[in-house]
Amino acid sequence: MNNKILIVEDETAIADILAFNLEREGYETETAYDGNDGLKKALEGDPGLILLDVMLPGLDGFEVCRRVREQSEVPILMLTAREEESDKVAGLELGADDYITKPFSMRELVARVRANMRRVPAPDAGETDGQARRLAGALTISEDKSEICKNGKPLDLSVREYEILTFLAAVPDKVFSREELMEKVWGYEYYGDLRAVDVAIRRLREKLEDNPAQPQYIITKRGLGYYFSSGN
């Protein structure tokens, strides 16, 4: 696992506190103090996760997030003092994996970092014969490659999207609530914003479905949650 965290935060004192506490947890850190430098380091420095403040000189955090997402699926955890609902949704829509509002405890931040830096584990030797396995319809999975294909073509999924799809597909036709998905896929109980689940499902459908408005694979059970349809 890439243990390097890029901190993009213009307030030096906050950046230093974040770096100090994360390094105590065993992470390597790098810091940028404005959006332009943050974007450069995000694209050239190969971080394992980005802590990205929204209010930055130069490019703001939303624009940095958008540009990073054009080239990379690195996990992005956005930091902000804003509490407006529209700001939270905007960050998620642009591709952020999570959102945390200042002030926050370091315990909560570290929990979020750990959950968002998880990577799909490589299967143990002998677990798979390397052959693609059909999930449903035109979807197949190659577990040795952690790869989902549609009609034989690999889908460009983020790690979070891959985890959502494989988690739901492991128990087809079973409905999972947003809270259950947050706990099982994101890896923490109710720390996260449940809208992150809805946005991630929507982004996954855009890559997965022929018509995202009429999904074939990831189905909404109104008032209850989501399930993966086996097609039966």
9-25 per-position pLDDT tens digit: 999 999 999 999 999 99
Please determine, for residue 201, whether its predicted confidence score (pLDDT) is greater than 90. yes
Q: How many domains does the structure of the chain reveal?
A: 2
Distance CA 147, CA 102 (A): 36
Q: Please check whether residues 105 and 141 belong to one and the same domain.
A: no
Q: What is the mean pLDDT of residues 51-67?
A: 95
Of 74, 90, 116, the last residue of a domain is 116
Q: Domain with 75 in it: what CATH number?
A: 3.40.50.2300
Residues of the domain holding 19: 4-116
Are 139 and 92 found together in one domain?
no
Residues 50 and 137 in one domain: no
From 54, 84, 116, give the residue that closes a domain: 116
Q: What pLDDT is attached to residue 189?
A: 54
CA angle 182, 185, 191 (to 5 degrees): 35
Say if residue 108 is in the same domain as residue 152.
Answer: no
Whether residues 193 and 146 fall in one domain? yes
Spatial contact of 76 and 97, defined as CB atoms under 8 Å apart: yes
Boundary-marking domain end, from 61, 87, 116 = 116
Sign of CA dihedral 168, 231, 206, 87: negative
**Are 165 and 151 in contact, with CB atoms under 8 Å apart?**
no
- Measure the CA angle with vertex 146, ends 69 and 134; round to 5°: 115
String of DSSP letters for 78-94: EEES---HHHHHHHHHT
Quickly count: other Cβ atoms within 10 Å of residue 189's Cβ: 10
Same-domain status, 112 and 20: yes
Question: How much is the pLDDT for 192?
Answer: 56
Average pLDDT over residues 197-223: 92
Q: pLDDT tens digits, residue range 128-174?
A: 445 678 888 888 888 777 788 988 888 888 778 888 999 999 999 99
Residues 67 and 93 in one domain: yes
